[in-house]
Amino acid sequence: MVAKRTRVVGIFLAALAVGCGDSAEDTAAPSGPWDEGVALGAEPQVAGDAERGRHILLNGDYMTCGVPLALYDNPALGGMVDAGFGNVSREDVIPGREGRNADLPYSLNAFTSPDGAEVVTTNCLGCHGGKFDGDIIIGMGNATADFTTPLGGDTSVPLTDDVLDLLGLTEPEKANLKKVFGRAAVLGPQTKMRTIGMNPAEMFAVILMVHHDRETLAWSDDEVTPVVPKDHDGNPIADPRMTSDPPPWWRAHKKNALFYNGMARGDHRGTMALATSVCVDSVDRAREVDAMFTDIQAFVSSVRAPEYTRSVDAALAGEGAALFADNCAGCHGTYAGMVHPDRSEADETYPNLLIPLDVIGTDPAVAEAGTVHSPELVEWYNGSFYGEITRMEPSDPFPGYMPPPLDGIWATAPFFHNGSVPTIELVLNSKARPAVWKRVDLDSTNFDEDALGWPYEELDYSQADAPEEEQKFIYDTSYWSQSNAGHTFGDHLSDSERRAVIEYLKTL
Ligand code: HEC
Ligand code: HEC
């Protein structure tokens, strides 16, 4: 194992030296904690049409079922439907969408379901569309998505045929509504998060696998493959809700393996398509949806980070670039941008390393999900239709995390895979991180340019001890999967060195 690591890293460093031999900075860090990492190799991807993918993403029917549009448009009931979608603002539209989608919030798609009903439901941008300085950015993680109320709103209302007749719905509309309510009743309770911004995608994936038959993909409201999530010592975890922070799509084109722990290998579209499987009931339907994902994947790979919109101190950023080359580039790669006007995107390097848990030291829950807590699901996935497209390999060669590409990193607070750290300044100073904190507000224009992140308040009481109305704004790092430990690679920097590195990160 050790020999293999050294060899792979050695090849990587040699490649760096050849590729960027003109810049001393890039080769200045011959050894460091990156030596413990293993490079994950590139694999072929099916080519698609990015333009068509964007169109499908924003107008298409890949989610396959939804709430009848007639209810969303109903003045008396629309509010309830909205609440089920997480109260997304009806003002948040993006230009260029088609038909009914033109005036829907950007995170909803209206379409005709396969059985002929006009329906509306959340698209990928509910999690992968965020805001910075008030602008909607497609592909940026949504840091304010609210999953603190159960998905689908109040699913306790009995949907008898009498009630549905009263609403004047057609048969296909009724069938869609029943399906959505039924799935939400299963998904909702286990995906209710503690804090606004916490994302339940990992939990969704777990439940989707537990309730779908692996061979036929038929859905069952009962568990088909029950799992009892276990901790490190093999004891059941009482509350296995795991949080995640949706990563920006502009990393995907650099990454040979997807997900924070690098477990998704091969062509990438399988795991993305799994995210749509909530309404899928058969392999045939899964295949139809998969056909759209060749293009959606091409779009995801075409997304690039926005440019920093505020001012940058170029001299300070230059000092930061040298520090970055010595302390960070071995893991996070090298970049073009303001400090390196001579480089183009093609000159950038990204080592695609997986860093073992004991070296990175951040919360282990996500890295160990497929190896310790619920390995049954890796088996489910790899033996399913989706596993024929993308393989799930959470322990190859060991559980760990990939150092993400840092393009546009200034826009993507909070940080780490679990969103446990509110600013980059704190990513670079592990001892100063607050154990319990909350954002001052959820306004995307209220941004801390010095610390690079969201202004926050440190609290001296736990989330459980906070007044109820305050609780959903509080991030408490004492819960399972929410630790803010690790990544101590900036701790030895002085405050002024840290300032310089931060200034440099604004240029990526
Ligand atoms: C419920 C929220 C949610 C929805 C809906 C969702 N995602 Fe994600 N997505 C996430 C989270 C959270 C992660 C990070 C998971 C991890 O890495 O462990 C993620 C990871 C990804 C990644 C990997 C990125 C990387 O850097 O490794 C891609 C690509 C992606 N999603 C695409 C999609 C597409 C396409 C859709 C729509 C079909 C979609 N997602 C729907 C929350 C969501
Ligand atoms: C040994 C490899 C390694 C080194 C060295 C390293 N990092 Fe990281 N970094 C990582 C890994 C792995 C993660 C992801 C950790 C996680 O999410 O749990 C990460 C995460 C980050 C993040 C947060 C990314 C996000 O979206 O949440 C930032 C910012 C960052 N690193 C900056 C730096 C800077 C600046 C340096 C140099 C001072 C540095 N790192 C040095 C491996 C490294």
Which of the four pLDDT bands, split at 50, 70 and 90, describes residue 359?
very high
In angstroms, the first-to-last Cα distance of the chain is 34
Q: What is the pLDDT of residue 87?
A: 81
Measured from the Cα of 248, ligand 2's closest atom is: 26
Q: Is it the case that residue 27 has pLDDT exceeding 80? A: no
Residues in Cβ contact with 321 at an 8 Å cutoff, skipping those fewer than 6 apart: 25, 339, 340, 504
Q: Which residues 6+ apart lie within 8 Å of 502 measured at CB?
A: 320, 424, 425, 428, 450, 451, 452
What is the pLDDT of the chain when averaged over all its residues? 90
Q: Pull the structure tokens for residue 391.
A: 């393989």
Measured from CB, residues less than 6 Å from any atom of ligand 1 are 124, 126-128, 199, 201-202, 204, 244, 246-247, 249, 251-252, 255, 258-260, 272, 275-276, 296, 300, 366
**CA nearest ligand 2 atom 35, residue:** 328
> Residues enclosing ligand 2, CB less than 6 A?
33-34, 260, 327-328, 330-332, 355, 359-360, 362, 401, 403-404, 409, 412, 415-417, 424, 427-428, 487, 489-490, 501
Q: How many residues does the chain have?
A: 508
Tokens (6 digits) for 410: 């200034």
* CA pair distance 30, 53, nearest whole angstrom: 41
Distance between CA atoms of residues 8 and 95, nearest Å: 46
Report the atom number in ligand 2 closest to the C-alpha of 324. Answer: 37
For residue 293, pLDDT beyond 50:
yes
Q: What is the mean pLDDT of residues 218-246?
A: 89
What the block records as the tokens of 258 is 């997807």
Average pLDDT of the segment spanning 389-397: 93
The predicted pLDDT at position 152 comes to 59
**3 band by pLDDT with thresholds 50, 70 and 90:** very low
What distance in Å separates the CA atoms of residue 79 and residue 185, rounded to the nearest whole number?
19
Q: Does the pLDDT value for residue 109 go beyond 50? A: yes
Cα separation, 171 vs 161, in Å, equals 10
Token reading at 42? 């590139």
Whether omega before 414 lies within 30 degrees of 0, making that bond cis, reads: yes
Q: What is the pTM of this model?
A: 0.92
CA 87 from chain centre, in angstroms, equals 20
165-205 pLDDT, tens digit each: 888 899 999 999 999 988 888 888 888 899 999 999 988 88
Protein residue with least CA distance to atom 1, ligand 1:
201
- In angstroms, rounded to a whole number, what is the distance separating the alpha carbons of residues 273 and 297? 10
**Ligand 2 atom at minimum distance from 400 CA:** 12
**Residue listed under structure tokens 């722990």:** 261
Distance between CA 476 and CA 464 in Å, rounded? Answer: 9
